[in-house]
Amino acid sequence: MVWTKDADSGTWTDEYDGAEKVFYGMSQAFKRLNREHGSVYTICRITGPAGSKPLGEEFRQAWKRLRFDFPALTVFEAGGKKTYLEPTQANIETWAKDTFWVDDEAEAAREVVPNLHLRKLPCLVFVSRSSEVLFHCSHWRIDALGACMVLDRLFAILAELVAGSQLETPRWELENKHLSPSLEDAYGCPKEVTLATEAKAQEIRQRNFDVAYPSAGLKYQGDQTTLPGVHRCQTVTFGKKVSEKLIRACKSRGFSVTAAVHAASAASVFESDDFGCDGYSTVVSVNLRPFLPPTSTYACGTYVTGITHTLRRSRDGGGDNNSFGLWSRQLTSGYREDWEPKAYLDALREVYRVHGQTMVSLLGSRPAASNVTVSSLGVIDSYLRRDHGKVQVEAFHLGSAIMGRQPTLYIWTFGGCLTLSVDYNEAYYSEKQIGDLLHSIRSCLGKELGVDMSPLG
């Protein structure tokens, strides 16, 4: 799609592209309950010297400057289209007022997250008591790594301000040059449907909806009519030594840490599954930025897709964990090769069109899925630096607001420490259930890899 400008009003509009339509539709699924599914939030605890201005004011100035680099932060939905207003002194101030504030009451940023639903625009909150910065954004606008890139640039600007530097005044009339393209436009995906793209879209449909069904899943609370409650999160972080040992153990066995955690999660689900399914299917997020032309504007955009992987239960009497090594190697190979990246990206528009149609056609005809989505962010330090001179990022957390029965398992390292974090909804899972899931994953990894998986603190 292409941004077009109304010369009289200075308003730019663009249609939602395929991936954006899917993510936007998912985000609005619980609108009647004043809930938003899938929104991304990132929390960083920072340290920095006291400047001549309160840190909240410095953040406000940095946030205003950041929008010039990433004007997609100002884009909103109007009339079913993405809408962008050319900057004026008045609307810049209005945008800053609507999207940034200091919270002096909350003890921690996680207390603020459950209240951030269905916002017209992304927001930035400085929680003064914990010295935490919370960035929140709808998933149709951004993905997890993009959120990290946005904060990296924000902290770089903030570091200049607290050091007393004078920021260069942006040429605001050029801000629109930095508007992010959709995933399909960024890649250059053809708009014309060909036999090849149609065949690829049907192949992906079969993979997602036929091969992947039925699937083992977590036992959830309530039934098909149970409405979502509050989003929750549980996290376990391992120290550097444990993390290094785990990474070495995986490497020596020929598979990735992500694959090992995914396999351990599958073993846990199979162990608790009451339905006796032979297959366990789950979506794994794939960062598509390596396949796109390099440009800094790609921080604000949903440049990610999900590829479904299916594992088969062992029936040889040796238990489920005896499949751990096989699963881990299968997944490592599958992550890299079996979805055929070029053919998939060439067919993106058709893939998402067919996906959307299939989702609508199956609505209510199958039991709600309760498998665990896997999202591996890799080394966060590659996207969000810890050291910004006078501003230091001491701690990092990322998650998404889950309104459905499929928890999301995030995997990342930051400062050399591995973190496993599960976002879920309290209407469907208890704190104990998710705690048991994380404990089971830790136990499986420890047993299969010979590493003491004791967490920090």
**Average pLDDT, 10 consecutive residues per value, the chain (457 residues):** 85 94 93 95 90 83 97 96 96 98 97 93 97 97 97 97 91 94 94 97 97 95 95 98 98 98 97 83 96 85 96 66 87 92 96 94 90 98 97 98 98 98 98 98 98 90
Q: What is the pLDDT of residue 2?
A: 81
Name the amino acid, one letter, at 207. R
CA dist 403 and 53 (Å) reads: 40
- Structural domains in the chain, CATH included, are 4-183 (3.30.559.10), 189-449 (3.30.559.30)
Q: What is the pLDDT of residue 51?
A: 58
Q: What is the pLDDT of residue 317?
A: 47
Sign of CA dihedral 113, 119, 122, 125: negative
Q: Enter the tokens of residue 36.
A: 């938003």
CA atoms within 13 A on the CB side of 329: 6
Q: What is the pLDDT of residue 322?
A: 61
| Number of separate helices (H) and strands (E) present in the chain | 12, 16
User: In the chain, what is the straight-line distance between the N-terminal and C-terminal CA atoms, in Å?
Assistant: 49
Q: What pLDDT, in 10s, does the model give residues 264-283? A: 999 999 988 766 789 999 99
Quote the pTM value: 0.95
